[in-house]
Amino acid sequence: MTERGRAQPTAWSPGQAASLENLFSNLDTPEEEFAQALSAAELEFGEDLCGELIYQLVHLRFEPGEAREHWDLLLAHRREMEEALSKRVDLRVALVSYFVEVAQKLENPTVIEMKLLEQTRALAYRDELTGLRNFRFFRDFLDRELIRGDRFGEPVSLIMTDVDDFKVYNDRFGHEVGNRALATIGEILGDTVRGLDLAARFGGEEFVLVIPSTPKLGAREVAERARKLIEDGFTGSDEGEGLTVSMGVATYPADAADDEELIRSADRALYLAKSQGKNQVQLYDRSQRSYRRFTLELAGWHSMPAGADHALQTVNVSTGGLKFRTDVELAIGSLVDVRLEVPNPRRTIDLVGRAVQCEQAESGWQVAIQLIDMNTRDRRLLGALLHEQQE
């Protein structure tokens, strides 16, 4: 069993939250009806559903495969209880019975109303001064989004934010004004991001934005918009004029292999913004890449939709696209069907991309395409190939 020693935050998308709410409202229904709600929720959560549902109900954390095994055993236990009692048993009752008496993962369970539990947890993850999520929530959210990014082959961008010369500001206007300024900055940052993003207080006068499913250039636009709003918001104010922020942007997986490295990368970009004059946004390593690229030579073919096949040889590959050599020029923005030959195991990878670069080389053309579509099997195969390159 993989049980974490601290509570996990609620960091779901709106669709996931609605699916869980629907499941909770069906816990006392017959098994057939609940199975329908469960199938609908699987479209939002995938293989994580059983683990998330068990955690929300009894605060036990399992890996997806183990969670599914417990869930199947739980349903069998519920049926046995219903046969013995000759009446329908609420799934929550069966859940407690199973984890206390069968799986023996709970010793002293406590019964608490779900809404009260959520209120208590929300306070534990909220920064009192700014109203944003706190550092603890941020670390759990970031870990969750990197796992999700790996699964769907999407980048996750991180924006570190620091208030410029805040000690001087505090000394000049006083801590009360300083606290109000931090609260205002927190409000601006929270209003800048989308519902699926996260704005959190990192500590002191530092803030952090987590922008899932967003490449580095998109995150830079978010950061620049927030920076400008903060600058304008403290220009000509009644008290505490001239407050600005510096911001550093890094993107997983191009700039980091895990959450710790991503934080360090964004922090280095922030340091660069500070050292070059403050009140600006800097990218980590000044790179606009959103995916880590690996030198990987694979043969294959490409074509325009319903067009003739042309041979290609890859130059480098990432989970977001690839660069290859070919003998034909491709128009920027055109859709490209690609098939790559994987020698071991001997299989092919099919994908659809959009040409974003085409340069004449010594023999033919060198083309870069951005990934648009790939099925799950091929995505996993490509991910495995790239993982081998990292080792």
**Domain segments of the chain: what residues?**
14-123, 126-286, 294-390
For residue 9, what pLDDT is reported? 40
pLDDT average, residue stretch 81-98: 86
30 vs 88: CA distance, rounded Å: 7
Residue 332 burial (C-beta neighbours within 10 Å; 0-12, 13-18, 19+): exposed
Residues 6+ apart with CB under 8 A from 345: none
- Is the predicted pLDDT of residue 202 greater than 80, yes or no? yes
CATH superfamily of this structure's domain 126-286 = Reverse transcriptase/Diguanylate cyclase domain (3.30.70.270)
CATH code of the domain occupying 294-390: 2.40.10.220
- Is the predicted pLDDT of residue 323 greater than 50, yes or no? yes
Distance of CA 239 to the CA centre of its chain: 38
181 vs 304: CA distance, rounded Å: 54
For residue 3, what pLDDT is reported? 34
Q: Which of 134-148, 196-210, 346-360 has the highest mean pLDDT?
A: 196-210
203 vs 217: CA distance, rounded Å: 26
- Is the predicted pLDDT of residue 2 greater than 60, yes or no? no
Could you tell me what percent of the chain has a pLDDT over 90? 34
Q: Which of 49-53, 212-216, 245-249 has the highest mean pLDDT?
A: 245-249
Task: Provide the whole-model pTM.
Answer: 0.59
For residue 1, what pLDDT is reported? 31
Taking only the tens place, the pLDDT of each residue in 149-164 is: 877 778 899 999 999 9
pLDDT average, residue stretch 297-310: 86
266 vs 287: CA distance, rounded Å: 12
In the chain, the N- to C-terminal Cα span, in Å, equals 27
65 vs 74: CA distance, rounded Å: 14
**Token representation of residue 324:** 């290859």
pLDDT average, residue stretch 54-81: 86
Q: Which candidate, 318, 327, 309, places its Cα nearest to that of 369? A: 318
Domains 126-286 and 294-390 share a fold: no
pLDDT average, residue stretch 104-122: 64
Residue found by looking up tokens 């909220």 in the block: 126
- Is the predicted pLDDT of residue 292 greater than 90, yes or no? no
Q: Kindly list the distances between the CA atom of residue 9 and the CA atoms of 54, 119, 143, in Å, as whole numbers in the listed order.
A: 14, 12, 11
CA atoms within 13 A on the CB side of 195: 6
**Token representation of residue 233:** 């918001």
pLDDT average, residue stretch 312-320: 86
Phi, psi dihedrals of residue 114, rounded to the nearest 5°: -60, -45
Residue 165 in contact with residue 98, Cβ under 8 Å?
Answer: no
